[in-house]
Amino acid sequence: MTSFNLRQVKLRPGEQHREALEVELPAFEFGGQRYVPVPETVTADFVIDRALTGTVFGLTFATHLQGPCYRCLGDAFLDIPVKAREYQAESPDDEELTTPYVAADQLDVSAWARDNVALALPEKILCRKGCAGLCATCGASLNDNPHEHDAPPGDSRWSALDGLRGLL
C-alpha cells in the first residue's frame, strides 16, 4: 500500500509541495460484489498546502474499474475521475478537523484513494446505459437474447376462486 511520510516535507504557512505519486489502489467490495482497479497502480497529482492552522492534502487521478454489472452480472468497465481533499489541523479541538488517513506522520494514500473511488461510483454499476438485465424466468441475458415467456399456469389451489372471478 502507498503511504507518504509527512516528515520529509518541511513547509511553512503559505507554501506548497506538489509531486506525481504512484498510488496502489486495492480491490474492494461494493454492493456485495468485488471491483478491481485496472491497472492496480495509478499516477496521481499529490499536493500538500500548508496553512496557518493546519495542512490541506489534495489528490487527483483517474482510474478504470472492472467488476460485475448490477443487472446482468456481465463485465462492467467504468472510468472514475477522482479529485479529493483532506484537512489536518495542527492542534485540533474537534475530531472533524482531522483526517483518518494520517497516523504517526504517515498519510495512508492508498486508503484515501480507495475511499474516494468508492464515493465517486454511481448508485448502480451497469455494463451499458440500457442494460436489460437477466430474464426472471430462465436467467438468460436479455442483452444477448431479448425474449418473453408465456404466462405461467395458475396455481391449482386457487382454482375454486377462479369461478368467482366472473361473478364480481
Of residues 22 and 158, more confidence is placed in 22
Residues 6+ apart with CB under 8 A from 93: none
| Residue indicated by cell numbers 460485475 | 68
Q: Is the CB of residue 82 less than 8 Å from the CB of residue 113? A: yes
How many angstroms from the chain centroid is the CA of residue 153? Answer: 43
Give first-to-last CA distance, the chain, whole Å: 69
**Is 70 exceeded by the pLDDT of residue 77?**
yes
31: left (phi over 0), alpha (psi -120 to 50) or beta: left
Per-residue pLDDT tens digits for 81-136:
999 999 999 877 777 788 999 998 899 999 999 999 999 999 899 999 999 999 98
Q: Please tell me the distance from the alpha carbon of residue 116 to that of residue 114, in angstroms, as a whole number.
A: 5
- Going through the chain in order, the beta strands assigned E by DSSP cover 3-5, 16-24, 28-30, 33-38, 41-50, 54-68, 75-89, 102-103, 106-108
With H, G, I as helix, E, B as strand and everything else as coil, classify residue 61: strand
Neighbours of 68 (CB within 10 A): 17
Q: Please tell me the distance from the alpha carbon of residue 32 to that of residue 110, in angstroms, as a whole number.
A: 21
Count Cβ atoms within 10 A of the Cβ of residue 99 and give its class: 0-12 exposed, 13-18 middle, 19 or more buried.
Answer: buried
Please give the model's pTM, rounded to 2 decimal places: 0.78
Per-residue pLDDT tens digits for 4-58:
999 898 899 999 999 999 999 999 888 888 999 999 999 999 999 999 999 999 9
CA atoms within 13 A on the CB side of 86: 21
Region 53-73: mean pLDDT is: 94
